[in-house]
A = this chain, B = another copy of it.
């Protein structure tokens, strides 16, 4: 077999990177659970017709077939891999509504797949960490102020650069466009959403093509320029002279989101009229999140309030949610070598093996240490101690345990010694009582200096 090569768009990590990713995911889980979110996991596949319901994404879907499945085997709409966790979650809520408690606070950390052309920040396989709160028929507004704070707490617990959430409100934008006399505010939103890609002149051209006057287009661009880290955005919006009831509601809601965040952690959340979010299903607050110093990467956590994503008969399930792009963040930080782990393996102690006959005795020492929560390996081969120490050193294992000659073949718990191979210092030790310093117990992740 020839040596295989990586596959573009399907990032894979080395074991030490995977240890970092797992600790990141564990930390996110821990924050979400402290806030009372329950975990769910959905299957990787959905019926294709469900995946294509929302338009726009059809080109990105991977479809599935059984290699030996006949035509009749694949009757119906066929299956596709989910491209996000929101569509499967909406389906899950409808399918299990009778067995769930509402409002439902759930988190979901899983892979998703898109057949996009790979580039930095965009992958064909990637991990998302989502939280949503979903109500039955109604959902109180305060959750729209709550969720970005949970995300802020989750992200600030990680050894990554600081983040800023940029929030806007669909009612504010749509009310503004309606107040301007625009016929199709959704079309304007979609055009304004392209601001990053095509710039103000490009958006102006798109808006005029949408049927707006020069003056209307200028007003839309002027709105999109407003960014404030407090409630002062409201005055700046009103200064543009547009009036509409929906605009008033949007300003009031966004003010509550900004004020709540400001009381909690000033500077963490800004009101940003440029945030549009292309997806049709958002109805109120929308969010994007940027990593300080890596703004060019795009949003690393997006979402918003939706009222109509899931409904059966007369029952609707309005919700609000945010989705962290775990792979997008880690891939950037790994690429720039900005994350460290204190060693390459979970192992804290290597028990040196004097000869193959001593393996049972060494296994017993290892078992005792493990029972006490200390990750331990026994050396794979009874080679020279220098080589066994190098085995530990190459992996960053901090301690090597030596079973002394006196112990061999006896039951005496005497004269074992453990060496910190970083300092070379060796002390007598008993596996029933010796513990490493807390900082050495497990691999620790940190930002690179």
* A interface, CB within 8 angstroms of B: 1-7, 10-16, 18-19, 21-22, 29, 33-45, 47-48, 50, 58-69, 80-81, 91-92, 94-97, 99-101, 103-106, 111, 113, 115, 125, 135, 140, 142-143, 260, 263, 310-312, 344-347, 356, 359-360, 370, 373-377, 380-381, 394-395
CB neighbours (8 Å) of A260 from chain B are 360
User: Which chain B residue has the least Cβ–Cβ distance from A18?
Assistant: B39
Residue of B38, B65, B99, B115 near A66 (CB, 8 A) is: B115
CA distance A11 to B15 in the complex (A): 29
Asked whether, in the complex, the Cβ of B33 is within 8 Å of the Cβ of A346, the reply is yes
Residues of B within 8 A of A99 (CB): 14
CA distance A2 to B115 in the complex (A): 28
B95→A14 contact, CB < 8 A: no
Chain B residues with CB below 8 A from A311, complex form: 1
Which B residues are CB-close (under 8 A) to A36?
Answer: 345-347, 375-377
**Residues in chain B near residue A113, CB distance under 8 A:** 44
A103 to B388, CA, bound (A): 12
**Could you tell me if B14 and A96 are in contact, using CB atoms closer than 8 angstroms?**
yes
Are the CB atoms of A65 and B65 closer together than 8 Å?
Answer: yes
Q: Which residues of B contact A395 (CB under 8 A)?
A: 101
Q: Are A95 and B359 touching (Cβ within 8 A)?
A: no
Whether B1 pairs with A45 at a CB distance below 8 angstroms is no
Kindly list chain B residues whose C-beta atoms are within 8 Å of the C-beta of A7: 43, 45, 47
Contact B58 A62 (CB under 8 A): no
Interface pair A19/B34, CB less than 8 Å apart? no
Asked, given contacts A311-B1, A380-B103, A380-B140, whether A44 binds B125 with beta carbons under 8 Å apart, the answer is yes
A106 shortest CB reach to chain B, Å: 7
In the complex, what's the smallest C-beta–C-beta distance from A219 to chain B, in angstroms?
A: 35
CA separation between A103 and B347, bound complex, in Å?
A: 14
CA of A34 to CA of B35 in the docked complex: distance in angstroms? 29
**B66 in contact with A106 (CB, 8 Å):** no
In angstroms, how far is the closest chain B Cβ from the Cβ of A61? 5
Contact among B39, B65, B68 with A59 in the assembled complex (CB-CB below 8 Å): B68
Q: Which of B11, B29, B63, B345 contacts A38 (CB 8 A)?
A: B345
A4 (CB) vs chain B CBs: closest residue: B95
Q: B64 near A68 (CB under 8 angstroms)?
A: no
- A100 CA to B16 CA, complexed, in Å: 10
CB of A34 within 8 A of CB of B69, answer no
Q: When chains A and B are docked, how far (Å) is the Cα of A311 from the Cα of B4?
A: 11
Instruction: Say whether A10 contacts B43, CB under 8 Å.
Output: yes
Determine if A62 and B68 form an interchain contact, defined as CB atoms under 8 angstroms apart: no
